[in-house]
Amino acid sequence: MQRFQHYIDGGFADAVNGFDSLDPATGAAWAQMPAATPADVDRAVAAAERAFFAPDWALMTATARGKLLLRLADLIAENAQHLAQLETRDTGKIIRETSAQIAYVAEYYRYYAGLADKIEGAHLPIDKPDVEVWLRREPIGVVAAVVPWNSQLFLSAVKIGPALAAGCTVVLKASEDGPAPMLEFARLFDKAGFPPGVLNVITGGPEVGATLTAHPKVAHVAFTGGPETARHILRNSAENLASTSLELGGKSPFIVFDDADLDSAVNAQVSGIFAASGQSCVAGSRLVVHEGIKDAFLARLSEKAEAVVIGAPGDMATEVGPLCTARQCDTAERLVAQSVAQGARLITGGKRLERDGFYFPPTILDCDGVPDAASLSNEFFGPVLSVVSFKDEAEAIEIANNTQFGLASGLFTRNLTRAHRMIRAIRAGIVWVNTYRAVSPIAPFGGHGLSGHGREGGIEAALDYTRVKAVWLRTSDDPIPDPFVMR
């Protein structure tokens, strides 16, 4: 079996404890991972704090930080296929997706490399004579970044990139469900030439994340995961008063009007829910379709769903691979059965496949007339689509917003004025119109409600890793009056 190590203070180290990582395609152990102890967490945070104040990082120019990020981006691009193979082996994501996604991850680091020396302060037209006041944006400090196993190189890039561009240091906790790509990424980071301690990568169970996010030396917590874990993080932040950015789950509506281009909408829906085996926080898991085209739409959709190639994730012909863990199969099967018992109609799929590994097929549930169906309110993190129809625009909005989540949404219509009305009315951080699951380092990403707060990507993300310092400079040579009272 392969063995992986933690990366702390510029060096690689074994942990006292370890655990086996399972190959989702077979269910068999393939690698030994390190499990961090509280002492390991403390050592990683201490290294990040030292690096934050050390002259070789604290006094490094923003332009020089950008050049290091560019070097890192080049290394990711050069090693994208190797990283993709590791991610596929450790998480079950298909190789055709990990290959494309990781190659694009390099663009996020290039974006933040270019942004590093463009994080600017401001001059204030202050209302007092003989005084100049300006604002400096300074790095916030040590950042605890906690990422899940799915799309982890992307989800860490939108934290590490802006944090380092701003001048922070980072302790990254990789998910215990598939940490290999992040532990291997640390080798590229080390090769890029950053000072020791600027980035530290550890892994382990929930107790590791709890220790890290509650650490008194942590100034900001950037988390991607589920709402329940986020609640624990917010409780932890009451102890260290760390600021937080939380990118959580979703139950995204995919709205199709009767004037939509059906071929495009069907293809986008297939990609939106069955790509990555549905293991995406922005999965379009609720199809909200006009009643006039529902039957025709479902006929095309189910035909495509049943034709999807399910197979080994390392095979380029595979379109849907296994789920990452056995418990995800259990959850999907349980919630589908519960929804059917409530009255939903199973169109296709619904039960795990009888083969080695954690395979669950593309599944479609018709939930018309069953507004309380379990599949409509729970995030599966699997390839399960729930379908409801609507009569008019008002009902479409009502259904779309009938969720505690607010991350993403999709809208298919040729009517431009309707699109603008819907964009305003849909309560979500992202609205894709006549497309779906498109991302870019230039555009912010995030939601509200149970989908969290804060944004990742774009300039806004970099600002989250800074704090503002107000500087007052008296320009008069006259003596300060005695007594001098500032107002």
Tell me: pLDDT of 472 over 60: yes
Model confidence pLDDT, tens digit, residues 365-411: 999 999 999 999 999 889 999 999 999 999 999 999 999 999 999 99
How many C-beta neighbours within 10 Å does residue 443 have?
Answer: 12
Query: What is the rounded distance in angstroms from the CA atom of residue 318 to the CA atom of residue 80?
Result: 19
CB 227 within 8 A of CB 164: no
Segment 285-304 mean pLDDT: 97
Model confidence pLDDT, tens digit, residues 122-139: 999 999 999 999 999 999
**Per-residue pLDDT, 481:** 79
Quick one: tokens of 280? 């995406």
Are β-strands 218-224 and 142-146 bridged in parallel, bridged antiparallel, or unpaired?
parallel
**Per-residue pLDDT, 484:** 56
Model confidence pLDDT, tens digit, residues 93-103: 999 999 999 99
Are β-strands 169-174 and 243-247 bridged in parallel, bridged antiparallel, or unpaired?
unpaired
Tell me: pLDDT of 256 over 70: yes
Q: Average model confidence (pLDDT) for the chain?
A: 95
Q: Which of 87, 184, 281, 329 is catalytic?
A: 281
What residue has token string 């009451």?
238
Task: Walk me through the domains of the chain, giving residue ranges and CATH numbers.
Answer: 2-247+457-471 (3.40.605.10), 253-433 (3.40.309.10)
pLDDT band, very low/low/confident/very high, at 239 (cuts 50, 70, 90): confident
Tell me: pLDDT of 422 over 80: yes
Query: What is the rounded distance in angstroms from the CA atom of residue 477 to the CA atom of residue 434?
Result: 63
**Per-residue pLDDT, 482:** 77
Torsion angles phi and psi, residue 269, rounded to 5: -65, -40
Radius of gyration from C-alpha coordinates of the chain: 24
Tell me: pLDDT of 486 over 80: no
CB 239 within 8 A of CB 274: no
Segment 345-374 mean pLDDT: 95
Segment 339-356 mean pLDDT: 95
pLDDT band, very low/low/confident/very high, at 485 (cuts 50, 70, 90): low
Q: Which of 247, 319, 379, 456 is catalytic?
A: 247
Quick one: tokens of 283? 């999965």
* pTM across the whole model: 0.94
228, 229, 234, 236 alpha-carbon torsion, rounded to 10° = 130
Active site residue 247: yes
**β-bridge partners, 31:** 2, 21
Given CA atoms 112, 113, 117, 118 in this order, what sign does their dihedral have?
negative
